[in-house]
Structure 1
């Protein structure tokens, strides 16, 4: 699959609440870092864990996924960044959630995936206006 086809397939699988279809986009031996920092290894694990969230906290959610950038790394690998907007209709996470993803794509499958929720810089810095105004590289000065 091309990167565009993978992104379309991921979005379609999420919106169908189908863990098997979601996981089909990943290499058999994929490493997947989810939004809470757990490392999930292997397509079967991703299928199982995804179905759990599709059936519970993300039931009925709608995902919009778009590619931000892609560049070849050599050896048939592409580094892909994407953004998502998820609408969650009910439950403890109801509302809109935004995230960014980093994918390493090889042979038409995602070989590595890292998902990070976009957060508010003011909350992250404890509402310290001086710290929030700095770039992360300046935080230790």
Structure 2
């Protein structure tokens, strides 16, 4: 599976609110660091955490993933940078959140995924 196919699968699973389908795009021993810095290790933990998110703060949300760049690190191992725009309809995270991700795809499945929320640097410098 190409990086673009993986992203399409992530987007489809997210938008369906399907944590198990989301996790199926990760290798069994994959690592995911989410936007608040929680480290999730293993496909089953990634599935569990995403099912919980889709049942709660991200219920009914829509996510759009875009490939920014990719390069081969070794045969069958790709490093990609992606961006996403998350639309949450209601609740404590209602609104739009933009993020950027570093993703390592090995033989068509995600080995590592690091997600970082984007914010305005001027606000960050002011301590806002």
Taking structure 2 as the reference length, the TM-score comes to 0.96
Q: Which residue of 2 aligns with 1:79?
A: 79
Q: Which residue of 2 aligns with 1:123?
A: 123
Q: Which residue of 2 aligns with 1:93?
A: 93
Matches within 5 A, 1:1-141: 1-126=1-126
Q: Distance in 2 between matches of 1:127 and 1:35?
A: 19
Q: Distance in 1 between matches of 2:118 and 2:67?
A: 16
SS in 1 for 2:63: strand
Taking structure 1 as the reference length, the TM-score comes to 0.88
Shift of 1:127: 5.7
Shift of 1:75: 3.4
After the TM superposition, which parts of structure 1 deviate over 4 Å for at least 4 consecutive aligned residues? Answer: none
Which 5+ residue runs of structure 1 have no aligned equivalent? 129-141
> Over residues 24-43 of structure 1, what are the superposed CA-to-partner deviations in whole Å (9 max), with x where a residue is unaligned?
00000001101000110000
Give the alignment's Cα RMSD to 1 decimal.
Answer: 1.2
Aligned pair count reads 128
Higher relative contact order (CA 8 A, sep 6+): 2
Which 5+ residue runs of structure 2 have no aligned equivalent? none
Q: Which residue of 2 aligns with 1:138?
A: none
